[in-house]
Amino acid sequence: WVEFTQSSAQTISPGTNITWDTKRTTGGDSISINSSTGVITLDSSKRYWIQASIHFIRSSVQQNDSVSFEFQDSAGSTVTPANGGFSMVYVEDINVPYINSSFVASLMISYPSLSYKLVCTDIPNNSTFASQSSLFIMELK
């Protein structure tokens, strides 16, 4: 198990790569993250289950506002469910909320040939990605 966190909150808008700068691990692993770009590099001979536990503070709240995060490859292409990527989506409806209450985005990948990143794809500009967020990675042989 590996956990990445942030030492402080990050200001985000649509298109922001989420960065991680603190690593905790239960043992040796083959995972690295560029703390400036958020790009996650994995070992191509292993399998991975990655979950981002997402906490955010929106700069404004309007009816039908939405928030979404997704995993992308390092070139910026969305990792679809068919390829192991599962986004986090929250849509604010002041009358009847539609919520992905887990606020989790996941990536399941076997023998990766690409690098990945977590990207905020929809949120009000100048919102905050809270430091309580975590990126959990299970590395399997």
Query: What would the pLDDT profile of 8-30 be if each residue is shown by its tens digit?
Result: 999 999 999 999 999 999 988 99
DSSP string, 89-120: EEE--SSS-EE-TT-EEEEEEES-SS-EEEEE
pLDDT for 65 equals 77
Percent of the chain with pLDDT over 70: 91
Helix (H, G, I), strand (E, B) or coil at 12: strand
Query: What would the pLDDT profile of 75-92 be if each residue is shown by its tens digit?
Result: 999 999 999 999 998 877
Sorting pLDDT into bands at 50, 70 and 90, what band is 100? very low
Sorting pLDDT into bands at 50, 70 and 90, what band is 98? low
Whether pLDDT at 101 is above 80: no
Helix (H, G, I), strand (E, B) or coil at 32: strand
Average pLDDT estimate for 58-62? 82
Distance, in Å, from the CA atom of 101 to the CA atom of 83, rounded to the nearest integer, reads 23
pLDDT for 133 equals 96
Task: State pTM to two decimals.
Answer: 0.91
Distance, in Å, from the CA atom of 53 to the CA atom of 103, rounded to the nearest integer, reads 6
Instruction: Locate 76 and state its tokens.
Output: 């910026």
Distance, in Å, from the CA atom of 128 to the CA atom of 140, rounded to the nearest integer, reads 32
